[in-house]
């Protein structure tokens, strides 16, 4: 079991490093290979988790399949049609993640929902400012789904003994506390995509943002899956 866990970490790490390296070097061909390889490793992690009920495994595996589809489309997100498909796939993932967290007892709280809904509203306005389009509409809906997942992931009920500071669960050795951080990183990654797409013209800055997007995305998926497969 330990050897299998180590193998999962090595494979995920290799895929993550390859993905980030491809972003830094502009090697799109390598990115098309390495980024989609990360999610199947997480799906395998979920499949062998002994802490999950069969229904929970089904939710998470389906969510990761949707994430894999999103990775495929987002690798070609310079095309509006592919970006819409990617956002839709990740939207399905967010719905399934939220369903899992709700099943675990997470609920929206004023302290956690207010800042996230405010950020979503600001992002929706920012996307519509240049020119309303089908892309901005789809991304606005996706942002709402992401805010829901982030709000639920931040509920302290998911990690009852965790320390809470400023309405945020503080990460610790208890892997359940990683959920809030994972969802926050996911939000940061998607916000960087929005900034890069709508407001940045410098190729150097765009490359740096792409590196951040991929690094934070992969880290967030790892933290979320580790948190959701942790002992209750």
Express each pLDDT in 158-169 by its tens digit.
Answer: 999 899 887 789
Query: pLDDT tens digits, residue range 69-101?
Result: 998 888 776 678 888 999 999 999 999 999 999
pLDDT at 41 over 90: yes
Domain with 201, as residue range(s), is 1-229
Token pair 């967030």 is at which residue? 220
- 58-72, 113-127, 135-149, 208-222: segment of lowest average pLDDT: 113-127
Domain count for the chain: 1
For 82, 135, 192, the CA distances from 130, given in Å and listed in that order, are: 20, 12, 17
- Element housing 164 (H / E): strand 164-165
Phi, psi (rounded to 5 degrees) for 164: -120, 130
pLDDT at 229 over 90: yes
Token pair 């500071």 is at which residue? 165
The average pLDDT across 186-215 equals 88
**Alpha helices per DSSP H over 1-109:** 2-25, 28-47, 54-74, 80-103
Question: Quick check: 151 and 108 in contact, CB under 8 A?
Answer: yes
Confidence at 217, pLDDT banded by 50, 70, 90: very high
The average pLDDT across 114-132 equals 77
Residue 216: is it exposed, middle or buried by C-beta count within 10 angstroms (0-12/13-18/19+)?
Answer: buried
């Amino acid at each position: 079991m330990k050897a299998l866990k180590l193998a999962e970490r090595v494979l995920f790490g290799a895929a993550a490093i390859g993905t980030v390296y491809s972003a830094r070097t502009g090697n799109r061909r390598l990115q098309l290979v390495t980024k989609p390889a990360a999610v199947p490793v997480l799906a395998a992690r979920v499949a062998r988790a002994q802490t999950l009920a069969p229904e929970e495994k089904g939710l998470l595996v389906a969510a990761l399949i949707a994430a894999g589809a999103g990775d495929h489309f987002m690798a070609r997100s310079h095309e509006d049609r592919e970006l819409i498909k990617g956002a839709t796939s990740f939207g399905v993932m967010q719905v399934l993640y939220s369903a899992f967290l709700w099943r675990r007892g997470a609920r929206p709280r004023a302290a956690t929902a207010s800042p996230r809904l405010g950020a979503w509203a600001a992002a929706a306005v920012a996307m519509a400012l240049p020119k309303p389009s089908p892309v901005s509409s789809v991304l606005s809906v996706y942002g709402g789904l992401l805010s829901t997942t982030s709000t639920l992931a931040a509920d302290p009920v998911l990690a009852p003994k965790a320390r809470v500071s400023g309405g945020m669960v503080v990460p610790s050795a208890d892997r359940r506390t990683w959920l809030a951080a994972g969802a926050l990183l996911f939000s940061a990654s998607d916000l960087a995509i929005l900034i890069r797409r709508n407001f940045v013209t410098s190729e150097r800055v765009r490359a740096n943002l792409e590196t951040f997007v991929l690094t934070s995305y992969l880290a967030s998926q790892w933290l979320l899956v580790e948190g959701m497969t942790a002992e209750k």
